[in-house]
Amino acid sequence: MTRRALMPALAGVLIVGSTSALADTVVKIGFAGPLTGPISHVGKDEQFGAQLALEDANAKGVVLGGQKVKFELMPEDDQADPRTATTVAQRLVDAGVKGVIGHVTSGAAIPASRIYEQAGIPAITPSSTSPKLTRQGYKTTYRVIANDMQQGSAMAKFATGVLKAQRIAVIDDRTAYGQGLADALVDSLKQLGIKPVGREFTNDKATDFAAILTKLKAAKPDAIFYGGMDAQGAPLLKQTKQLGMSARFLGGDGVCTAEMIKIAGTAMSSEVYCTQAGIPMDKMPSGKAFNERFAKRFNTPVQLYAPYSYDATNALIEAMKLANSADPAKYLPQLQKVGFKGVTGHIAFDANGDSREGGVALYQFNAGKWEARP
């Protein structure tokens, strides 16, 4: 080959080489939640919220340490199970993720948080509301939502002050979330001088509640509070109707879903109420626009906490920008300095990793949907 003929070939090699050198650095962000099972719709909802945030960041372009980065989501299914959650957490750590969004439930988030703390990897939950999560003293644990103490207090005041309920029965599913929420309600009722007329327990796999409801029926409650998720809350509500119980049905954010309405069907009525950590979608600064973009991208409406997952993901990215690095050891301290306008409101954290501005909204079922109470 002549020297002249060799030049184009060398140029091609140089072009290929320079393109490779300019390839984006991949930054993996883990996601952990129930992607299979009875509450997979909640897990998928939050997964999609995180995915949308990363897609938006990649579209805008993020440069860290002089190198353009490309964010990739690594989703893992913890099945909302504590043991599986720790396995999933270790898998994400071993995979080299730079941060984690999750876990979805408190029962999974609490045991998994120890794994992330030991690895020094920040984990921000969009929806785990147990106060225990951020009381462990872990520097890597954060959340962007209100906790159960705030939900329990709000429902107790509403049930007694607005609904004038005095004979309140309490049921929970014995998970960290369900029991924690029920305990918060009971504590708040106690402060108001009211003792529940009954306290019963089930589990997060149950479908038959006849025994505990029959026992509670004898106590003649004027309201029943359930601490747990919609997969049990819906059949529980149905069975109260089958037993001829007229008590109002109250729940937390676990039953404040479109799936609850779908499963419970005709058992739903204007006597069904729920609290939700956070503010109503239509009251969020960018709620309407987010819901439209979300539905268009994933062909499904927001179920519950996708906006919080979106904001949690952006909190990680903002901390990385402040540190100019995706290295967890470098950007972790910056999470305390994060402050930005998110979809759900102003995002900032206190010294424990809790949201500085977590609120609680009350909803009532009406005309086929949940409506925010004033």
Are 21-145+283-357 and 148-277 the same fold in CATH?
yes
Task: Give the model confidence (pLDDT) of 159-206 as tens digits.
Answer: 999 999 999 999 999 998 999 999 999 999 999 999 999 999 999 999
The residue ranking higher by pLDDT, 217 or 345, is 217
pLDDT tier at 22, thresholds 50, 70, 90: low
Fold designation for 21-145+283-357? Rossmann fold (3.40.50)
Nearest to 310 by CA among 353, 354, 341: 341
DSSP 66: T
Fold designation for 148-277? Rossmann fold (3.40.50)
Return the domain boundaries, the chain. Answer: 21-145+283-357, 148-277
pLDDT score for 278 = 81
Task: Give the model confidence (pLDDT) of 243-257 as tens digits.
Answer: 999 999 999 989 999
